[in-house]
């Protein structure tokens, strides 16, 4: 199982918690990201449908986002029964900074993985060399089909490969 994406997420969350910024729940972050990364207009009803949660859950998340001025609600002038959810400058800055945190976490994880790679490859068993072109392996199944070939099981027979001119890269 590849846990690298979870490590990136862990690093980003730790950095996010450490900085002097609002600490959002997963639901609040999902609402915020949906408002900022999908085309408007956004309504409480629409966000509830997209996230498959109740309208009161969206309302609570928007209350918290409004406290931090990361998003705001505005009554729709065309339909006063509908409430529109709008982006704010502070919300844009918050998400841009969080995107930077995720990028840095990804880069740190990649560097750590690269540092471990030489050690892991030294411990890994050696791969069998690639078979040259024109080499045929006689399998046990093929040998059983032809009893006379039984002596050649698991032996390889190399066919002479056509000589090809070797290309040498030009030096600058």
Neighbours of 48 (CB within 10 A): 17
Whole-number Å distance between alpha carbons of 73 and 62:
8
Stated pTM of the model: 0.64
Provide the CB-side half-sphere exposure for 84 (13 A, CA): 13
Whole-number Å distance between alpha carbons of 150 and 164:
34
| 19 SS3 class | coil
Buried b (16+ CB within 10 A) or exposed e, 67-81: ebebbebeeeeeeee
Residue 92 contacts by C-beta under 8 Å, 6 or more apart in sequence?
36
Structural domains of the chain sorted by starting position, each given as residue range(s) with its CATH number in brackets: 4-123 (1.10.10.10)
Q: pLDDT tens string for the chain (172 positions)?
A: 777 889 888 888 888 888 888 889 999 999 999 999 999 999 999 999 999 999 999 999 999 999 999 999 998 888 888 889 999 999 999 999 999 999 998 898 888 888 887 765 556 555 555 544 554 444 444 444 444 444 443 333 334 444 444 444 444 3
């Amino acid at each position: 199982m590849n846990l690298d994406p979870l490590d990136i997420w862990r690093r980003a969350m730790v950095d996010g918690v450490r900085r002097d910024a609002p600490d959002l729940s997963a639901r609040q972050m999902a609402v915020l990201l949906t408002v900022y990364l999908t085309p408007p207009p956004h309504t409480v009803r629409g966000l509830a449908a997209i996230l498959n949660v109740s309208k009161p859950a969206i309302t609570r998340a928007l209350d918290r986002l409004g406290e931090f001025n990361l998003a705001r609600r505005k009554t729709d002038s065309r339909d006063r029964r509908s409430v529109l959810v709008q982006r704010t400058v502070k919300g844009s800055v918050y998400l841009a900074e969080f995107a930077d945190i995720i990028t840095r976490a990804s880069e740190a994880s990649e560097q750590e993985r690269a540092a471990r790679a030489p050690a892991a490859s030294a411990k890994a068993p050696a791969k069998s060399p690639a078979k040259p072109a024109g080499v045929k392996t006689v399998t046990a199944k093929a040998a059983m089909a032809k009893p006379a070939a039984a002596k050649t099981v698991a032996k390889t027979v190399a066919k002479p490969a056509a000589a090809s001119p070797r290309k040498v890269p030009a030096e600058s």
